[in-house]
Amino acid sequence: MRLFTATLATETNTFSPLPTSLDNYKESVFFRPGEHPTDAPRMCTAPLFVGRARAKAEGFELIEGSCFAASPAGTTNRADYELMRDEILDQLKKAMPVDGLLLGLHGAMVAHGYDDVEGDLLLKARAIVGPNCVIGVELDPHCHLTMKRVSQADIIVLYKEFPHTDVVERAEDVLDLVLKTLRGQIKPVMSVYDCRQIQSYPTTLQPMRSLVDRIMAMEGKDGILSVSIAHCFPYGDVAEIGTRVLVIADGDKKKADALATKLGDELVSLRGKTTPTYFNVKAGVGEGVAFNDLPVVIADPADNAGGGAPSDNTDILKHLIETRIEDACIGPIWDPIAVRICFDAGLGAKIHLRFGGKIAVTSGQPVDAEVEVIGLKRNAWQRFGPTQVPVGDCAAVRVGGVDVVLIANRTQATGLELFRNVGIEPTEKKIVVVKSTNHFMAAYGPIAKKVIYVDSSGPLKRDPARIPYTKVERPIWPLDADAKPRGLIF
Ligand SMILES: [Zn+2]
């Protein structure tokens, strides 16, 4: 048995002021055959990681293709997308004949001229491998689950957790299902239900926590092979945006249809009920200061680099400085120029620094302050569940009672290393501000005595009705208050 694996992934915020080019992939994940790290998967490369670990014992040969992934930002440059796509497809042609594909994609990638990158890639891959090859795909739940891609794949499995701590487990699921299909033990059939809604579904909060637990318990029983919820990615202006349910059953399409419908209807009943309360900056910080234990973790989801934001909005930072909050830290602020200046100044230097507030109107105004450089680290990284995320060169500066982590590689707060790399201990701070929507909860949830979500003036509007879509199919909730679910679409 011969399986081919590759990764092409990013989450495209089509409204982001930061375009995505080959250089952004080179900064994050850019591994050609023979270059893949062996210690841990990087971003969407778990299928390769899992396939490599199991190939020998399970009697298949894994042919490793290229893996490309970039931090979320704006639309990918067309020529760069075509270059990466064609490199993978050329590798696939050379690898033929293959029995199966294991693709680690994200699912919300947009390139100029390609609103459905994954659909395009799968269509071209299917043309190469033919109808009998089993195509297995792992996607992020913040994807656009388009009919083009569903019609080309045999097995699609999405991460269930948000924060995405289960990327390796779900890659194991994809491989399990591909192998069982190839061995003739199962006949996967997929059903998709379209809820017609745009919403965020953190699985650390109820009611999603219990829904995900129930879904997990359904798998592997009564002919149900896999259940996925495509949460949607609200910041991609594409036609097929929105929450969808995907069920894979063993040979029984009616069974898959029935469960997809039941779960889809349940998600429709949860409109407006899955997101946390968002405070304004003043009220959120006030809540944190008034709380009598530490640390209080305050999230800034509107400036989450993981959703394509620049991560240099200064609303919360300025409020902390101006109200003279003590024992606070905040990160990451993406400002490679300020990082460079801090390295040039050296550890312990007291300098005048302008930082943050640079990229767009939604970044706010920069901070101008006398700072002390209290930490420096080159080529730093942070954990995200089982994966590693590079943050590049980092500098920590102290302004009054506020420690600020400046980073050179734009990414969100996922691991405590973000602060510890530069000598800041988040468990000892009164207030820890993180730029992240919910991925921070994997590491910061366990240390937080209280978690507060704040809606700053960053670019990721929490209310989808305020996002200036032009291509999205209507009606869809909450843009259209009376949008009815479309029901089964596959
Ligand atoms: Zn995601």
**Tokens 């680099």 sit on residue:** 305
pLDDT in tens, 255-275: 999 999 999 999 999 999 999
pLDDT confidence of residue 386: 84
CA atoms within 13 A on the CB side of 471: 14
Calpha distance 89→96 (Å, rounded):
11
pLDDT band, very low/low/confident/very high, at 40 (cuts 50, 70, 90): confident
What's the CA-to-centroid distance between 170 and ligand 1, angstroms? 13
pLDDT confidence of residue 95: 98
What's the CA-to-centroid distance between 255 and ligand 1, angstroms? 28
pLDDT in tens, 150-197: 999 999 999 999 999 999 999 999 999 999 999 999 999 999 999 999
What's the CA-to-centroid distance between 162 and ligand 1, angstroms? 7
Please state, in angstroms and as integers, the Cα–Cα distance from residue 302 to each residue in 106, 185, 299, 456, following that order.
21, 46, 9, 6
Contact (Cβ atoms closer than 8 angstroms) between residue 211 and residue 286: no
Calpha distance 460→436 (Å, rounded):
11
What's the CA-to-centroid distance between 338 and ligand 1, angstroms? 29
Mean pLDDT of the chain, nearest integer: 97
What's the CA-to-centroid distance between 449 and ligand 1, angstroms? 25
Beta-bridge partner residues of 400: none
pTM: 0.94
pLDDT in tens, 213-223: 999 999 999 99
What's the CA-to-centroid distance between 290 and ligand 1, angstroms? 32
What's the CA-to-centroid distance between 426 and ligand 1, angstroms? 25
**Token pair of 2 as six digits:** 């011969």
Residues 467-479 have a mean pLDDT of 97
Beta-bridge partner residues of 158: 139
pLDDT confidence of residue 322: 97
What's the CA-to-centroid distance between 140 and ligand 1, angstroms? 5
pLDDT in tens, 285-337: 999 999 999 999 999 999 999 999 999 999 999 999 999 999 999 999 999 99
pLDDT confidence of residue 388: 85
For residues 35, 36, 39, 41, the Cα torsion angle rounded to the nearest 10 degrees is 160
